Amino acid sequence: MKIIDAHAHVFPHYAEMAVKVMDKAGIDSTVTLEWHDGFGKVLKEHLKIFSNFKGRFKVFGNIDMSMINEPNFPRQAVEELERSVEAGMVGLKIYKNLGLELKDRDGKFIPIDDERFDTIWDKAGELGIPVLIHSADPSFFWQPINEENFWEGVLQGEYAHWSYYRKGFPSREELLSERNNIIRRHPKTIFIGAHIGSSADNLDYITQVLERYPNFYVDISARIPILGLQGLSRKRSVEFFNKYCDRILFGTDLIYDDEHVATGIQSQTFLSEEDIDISGLTNIEAYIKTSADFVKSHINFISTSKIQTNPPFKRIKDSYVIKGLGLSEEIQKKIYNRNIEQIFK
């Protein structure tokens, strides 16, 4: 079956490595999301590199957020967007820093539905490109970090800065309702909510959002662990995937950057050398292997009902078990390729 990964981060100098992983794991093409600097000269250089791989990559660029507090930010961003699409960019990626990091001149967080972005969202719709937006995070990131927190194994280590618990950040509810505001205000623009729209731990909530806004889609990237927890959320996930099969995109969130390739372990697994055996392999070989295994785990999850003990995604400290959704072939096709192809049309 043709599989399109609708959410990955490939630094251009790792494009060849990413293609090796795609070939190994059975991925036809990958949407790669530029890392904050995907506009202007940098974007053009990257587009050129990715175009050498004949249809294997589609590139989503960014907005120059360093200009956010300049008076002509909206106009310049819109003009840049036009030039980027002209150059070959096929989507816009907005990171969670909108809402959780970017601030006004007076030091206040800029809300996701700030009116400075209105003409930008409209322009994306007019140009026919989707906006892949990561807003907020799982509810666990706002909760105490202890054994009841499903992300405990991640939030305690290298990624402690992802915890927003009692640090003065906007609440998850505020961020999600600001995101919903822009989806509502720009019905001709397609928005894709990354990571099940940051609501994999609350499918009832995201169901309401999908019901309300037909211009909203979600990708599954980086959320398989919670979706597949046997006996807890898995049953609800099967229901959700069947009902919203026209609005769900396959994605992995694979990362190919210098920092992580050097470790030999695909960054998105959050595993360390104590967790898996990569001895005897070079860093590059190990990174290809751990990335391909990671993708295969996703495909198993969608296509089969197999139980995966110790799946390659660290979350809680202990090991845990997920069970595949075992979706029908018709539904798999929509999630793996048809929905995203429809968006690109």
215 in Cβ contact with 247 (< 8 Å) = no
Size of the site for Zn ion (CB under 5 A): 1
253 forms part of the interface with Zn ion (CB under 5 A): yes
- Shortest Å, Cβ 32 to Zn ion: 10
* Dihedral angle of Cα 257, 262, 266, 267, to the nearest 10 degrees: -60
**What's the CA gap between 99 and 193, in Å, rounded?**
14
Phi/psi at 106 (5° precision) = -90, 15
219 near Zn ion, judged by CB under 5 A: no
- 192: Cβ–Cβ under 8 A, 6 or more apart, which residues? 6, 130, 131, 132, 133, 216, 217, 218, 219, 249, 343
Give the helix/strand (H/E) hosting 132.
strand 131-133
Binding mask 82-111 for Zn ion (x = CB under 5 A): ------------------------------
Query: Around 75, how many Cα atoms within 13 Å sit in the side-chain half-sphere?
Result: 3
Q: Please state the closest distance from residue 131 (CB atom) to Zn ion, in A.
A: 14
| Least distance CB 194 / Zn ion (angstroms) | 6
- Does position 80 interact with Zn ion (CB under 5 A)? The reply is no
34 contributes a contact to Zn ion by CB under 5 A: no
Question: Which residue's CB is nearer to Zn ion, number 122 or number 257?
Answer: 257
| Window of 84-92, 140-148, 199-207, 246-254 that interacts with Zn ion by CB under 5 A | 246-254
Indicate the Cα dihedral angle 294, 297, 301, 304, nearest 10°. 150
Write out the H or E segment, with its range, that includes residue 32.
Answer: strand 29-33
- Cβ at position 9, least distance to Zn ion in Å: 6
Task: Kindly tell me which of 152 and 253 has the beta carbon lying closer to Zn ion.
Answer: 253
Considering the complex, state which of residue 94 and residue 176 has its C-beta at the smaller distance from Zn ion. Answer: 94
Residue nearest to Zn ion as judged by C-beta position: 253
Q: Which is nearer to Zn ion, 126 or 257 (CB)?
A: 257
Name which of 80 and 253 has its Cβ closer to Zn ion: 253
What is the signed CA dihedral for 152, 158, 163, 167, rounded to 10 degrees?
A: 140
Binding site for Zn ion (CB under 5 A): 253
